[in-house]
Structure 1
């Protein structure tokens, strides 16, 4: 399915989920709680009206607990909640609802918090409703390949440089999503798609922003760097804008590893499967990069 991410300016929002909700899909939402916020709610519903059933009701209440429930045949069912409320007034947040076989898995700010078990069959869920005291900068449904979530990863942490295998390898239709902040004293950082974990392995795509200068892209093969480019077949989006196109020099099936290094603080990193990326409207609070892998 296509990735569909957009800015949400008017609440309440009631929208149809194209094709319905399915296992393997995830709702991503990036927003901010106003300083005068009381609560907000997000509902996966069987229809658009107030009388329709709600398969999953997610309701953070400021300075209180987060409440979850379902609504069936005109009645609220057994309430579930957790007291470790990650939402703070005046602060931005990132949230993922991953649809699993067992239920709705809730991730907030890089941390898995709860799984709300299915009470209403997924095939009946057709609508999404968002309402309350929240500013939604970006939201959308995506098909998940796999997601890695980090918290406060910086160059001073043991987690950077980060070198890890890409499960199943890199394939056409996959996209890397990265949210982070470049420190004020930063010099540069790099993201590399490699054929293996060591410095001697080939690099299919090396992305290297240099502060107050150009963004350098290249490949490394047989022990030598290739021809450097400053315009970039990965599609790169920074703050929602397509940046450049870097044509394939090494076959995708050889790419097995991701390497991130340098002056950058990463709050979220993940791979998702997409068929298209529509224009993204991103908030002033984040620096976001999207890299899509089209065919050779």
Structure 2
């Protein structure tokens, strides 16, 4: 079964902006992923709630190599549910506002100032917006 995936390669996400995503988590998924970065091998923010482990994993990838994981055990997602997420892109960190108001922070390890790449897997998006 092919994996649902949406990719954008020429996005204008810059420091100080927010990415707002709305959609439905796929019914039959054990995890979903939101990747923001330069390209598929250089990811500044890998946001990955894992239902099978009941944890949210954040990481970054540099030249195709994963770096150290940050794990947050605040799981407020369930397969088959509608979600709204806001990712705020700051100078030194990303702030991900979860549907229940909890925030997950992850450092901007590469000190990126512009992120053209977005990949979303495991969610059927109904909207996304840059603010």
Per-residue deviation at 1:11? Answer: 3.7
RMSD after superposition: 1.8
- Name the count of aligned residue pairs: 127
In the other structure, the counterpart of 2:28 is 36
Partner residue, 2:11: 17
Contact 1:94 1:110 in 2 (8 A): no
User: After TM superposition, which residue ranges in structure 1, 4 or more long, deviate above 4 angstroms?
Assistant: none
- The aligned counterpart of 1:163 is none
The structure, 1 or 2, with the larger RCO (C-alpha pairs under 8 Å, 6+ apart) is: 2
- 3-state SS of 1:46 partner: strand
TM-score norm. by structure 1 comes to 0.40
Partner of 1:46: 38
- The equivalences for 1:130-141 within 5 A come to 130-131=120-121, 133-141=122-130
Point out the structure with max Rg over C-alpha.
Answer: 1
2:25–2:32: 8 Å Cα contact kept in structure 1?
no
For residues 117-136 of structure 1, what are the structure 2 equivalents within 5 Å?
117-123=107-113, 125-131=115-121, 133-136=122-125
Gaps of 5+ in 1: 1-9, 143-296
- 2:44 alignment counterpart: 55
Relative to total residues, which structure has the larger strand share, 1 or 2?
A: 2
For the Cα contact (< 8 Å) 2:55–2:72, is it kept in 1?
yes
Judged with a 3 Å threshold, the aligned counterparts in structure 2 of structure 1 residues 85 and 99 are, in CA distance, closer, same or farther, namely same
Partner Cα distance (2:128, 2:42) in 1 = 22
Question: How does the TM-score come out when normalised to structure 2?
Answer: 0.86
Structure 1 residue 110: Cα displacement: 4.6
Following the alignment from structure 1 to structure 2, what is the Cα–Cα distance between the partners of residues 55 and 72? 8
